Amino acid sequence: MYNILIVKYGEIGVKGKNRYIFENKLIKNVKNILKPIGKFNVYKEYGRIYVDLDGYDYEEIVEEVRKVFGIVGVCPAVRAEKDYNLLKELALKMLEEKIDQGYKSFKVDSRRGDKDFKLTSQEMSLDIGGYLVSQVKDKIAVDVRNPEVKIHCELRQNHVMVYSDTIPGYGGLPLGTNGRAMSLLSGGIDSPVASWMVAKRGMELECIHFHSYPFTSEKSQEKVRDLAQILSKYCGRVRLHKVNMLEIQKAIGLNCKDEEMTIISRRFMMRIAQQVAESRHCDALVTGESIGQVASQTIQGLTCTNASVSMPVFRPLIAMDKTEIIDIAQKIGTFETSILPEEDCCTVFSPKKPVTKPKLDRIERSENALDVEKLIQDAIDNIEVEDIEF
């Protein structure tokens, strides 16, 4: 029945004179996400964005399009040549479908795009509603205040259109409209969610992962690769930088206090991430930290971590509860992969009693026993890079 999708966007509509830039980017992103399925006609018309279905299963296409950041809803619709009687017939067909699905009440919502047409929008709704009632009799009730289903009828300059359902999207802004960020991607629940949330605000993502192979297994790296692949469904191609932290952690273990292992390791990760980010023209770092969740994420720990870099650090989960983070992870499809029981470099070398209220001056004094620059450079020189697509 459906031959076209109406793509609805949110914040883009208030972008003023720059609106066309966001619309064009959104169109490009929709085309990109549909490439594995086929080549689709995606275009602007009358201040809207449309996707011609060309015979494809609408449910499959809707499920893909709704994942594009910047879209708040997708409406499967029927578009036909301009004919008012045909518009009424299409509305009847859609209403009968809704009756079969068990809906008990409806209303008609009309829009007259052709101002030369004899009926106003309100008059169209009354006329089409009357016709529908005459055809379906008492199979469904009319409720103009709180209907279970709305039948939207539009008469435009060159066509008519009918639709009912709106499948919600994720909102946000089109990917690529707000710069680029480097996300510290572990194998846990939090960092993939943080990455997704920043991408939702229009930032392109690259990811950096720290491991301690062979103390951590190749499976743990494969797990992170799988997470990056899931993210790439929303974020496009993801460049994954894999950094071995083993020599750094050995040096910390030999020269620093055991309880400082976690926070000093974290500072090394941030420094390395910043250098890689700068070389890749990224504007910020992204982490999955949340206040008080683990020992290194106390306010004192975060202060010590921040002091190791000069680049902005985005922490979109900073005030979220674990249950809220898990809900998003399940929604975007990363949760089941994140909970696979593979160790990461933080847990392998985690001290029994990590410092929870580190003092920056003490941490910096401890780092004086290390050749920080050499350790960082050696790690960067041995980075492995992989481009990951869904």
Per-residue pLDDT at 209: 97
pLDDT given at position 348: 60
> Token pair for residue 151?
């039948």
Mutual angle of helices 190-200 and 218-235, in 10-degree steps: 20
Sheet (strand 180-184) strand order: 313-314, 284-286, 180-184, 204-211, 238-244, 384-388
Q: What is the DSSP string of 150-206?
A: EEEEEE-SSEEEEE---EE---S--TTSS-EEEEE--SSSHHHHHHHHHHHTT-EEE
What is the structure's pLDDT at 294? 83
- In tens, the pLDDT along 338-386 reads 999 877 666 666 777 888 899 999 999 999 999 999 999 999 999 999 9
3-state SS assignment for residue 303: helix
The tens digit of pLDDT for each residue in 242-280 reads 999 999 999 999 999 999 999 999 999 999 999 999 999
Single-letter amino acid code for the residue at 133: V
Confidence of residue 15 (pLDDT cuts 50, 70, 90): confident
Residue 3 has pLDDT above 70, yes or no: yes
Residue 12 is predicted with a pLDDT of 86
CB 51 within 8 A of CB 30: yes
The three state secondary structure string of 4-64 is EEEEEECHHHHCHHHHHHHHHHHHHHHHHHHCCCCCCCEEEECCEEEEECCCCCHHHHHHH
**Per-residue pLDDT tens for 190-206?**
999 999 999 999 999 99
Residue pLDDT, tens place only, 47-62: 789 999 999 999 999 9
Q: Which residues contribute to the annotated binding site for ATP? A: 184-185, 209-210, 266, 288, 297
DSSP β-bridge partners for residue 149: 106
Domains along the sequence of the chain with CATH: 1-78 (3.30.70.1510), 82-168 (3.30.2300.10), 180-388 (3.40.50.620)
Residue 257 C-alpha from the chain's centroid: 40
**Residues of each annotated binding site:** 184-185, 209-210, 266, 288, 297
Which residue is associated with the tokens 């971590």?
Answer: 305
